[in-house]
Structure 1
């Protein structure tokens, strides 16, 4: 089961504008370089990186009748061609070396309502809001990299 990394987004602080990048380093301690959520604060920290499936975002957009860019979800990684397992502990490999562990569902917050009325509800079923993950092994990633689910 393989997919592709379609987008990488980061923001330097809470509520800061989102920046799209083509390639970035991801580390154990810092997560996505330049993203404020990457630094692990508190224990246990389960939201170092967030992933969302393109199909889930498109379905939510269709439900609310809008066309909003995926990065407005404020997720870090947009993936396609793969169904992210809704099972904490699942390992996801991106590119040649990055290994992430799914920790939990990424619940949509009230900020989604500011984007489009009904968006928070549209993102609630079936982990449509995405998945949170922790870095298990760092590395460089780039748009176009292969993504695969690893046997745990």
Structure 2
């Protein structure tokens, strides 16, 4: 994982530098980028009894965007706007995998309820983004 202050996100490559964002030939690109709500991450940490300095860093979840102060709908099919031009179509819930369990016992289960594991989406319009950019839900 690499933490970035700015990044370019495109329909062709997803988040610049993340090989998982490329759409494979014949693929649907439903998993191009991922979002994680801060509140959901903190709820999972509290469930595990991990508070303060014991709390795991959010990037343990291996998502592209960590969002504070916005609660996403628990459904797919809407657009998330980031900054001036980036638009991402939310395609599905990001179910936690066994890798989470390898990182910390109980983490997979703590991320399972209420879309705590995050959301996945496909880029529909390119954009340069930066930490602190406004994030909005557009239906």
TM-score (norm 2): 0.93
Asked if residue 127 in structure 1 is aligned to residue 127 in structure 2, the reply is no
CA contact (8 A) 2:22 2:29 kept: no
Q: How many residues align?
A: 134
1:16-44 Cα deviation digits (max 9, x unpaired): xx000000000110000000111011422
Structure 2: runs of 5+ lacking an equivalent: none
**Unaligned stretches of 5+ residues in structure 1:** 1-17
Distance 1:53 1:46 in 2: 19
- Structure 1 segments of 4 or more deviating over 6 A? none
Higher strand proportion: 1
1:56 to 21, 27, 40: 40
- Asked if 1:32 corresponds to 2:15, the answer is yes
More helix by share: 2
Aligned to 2:49: 65
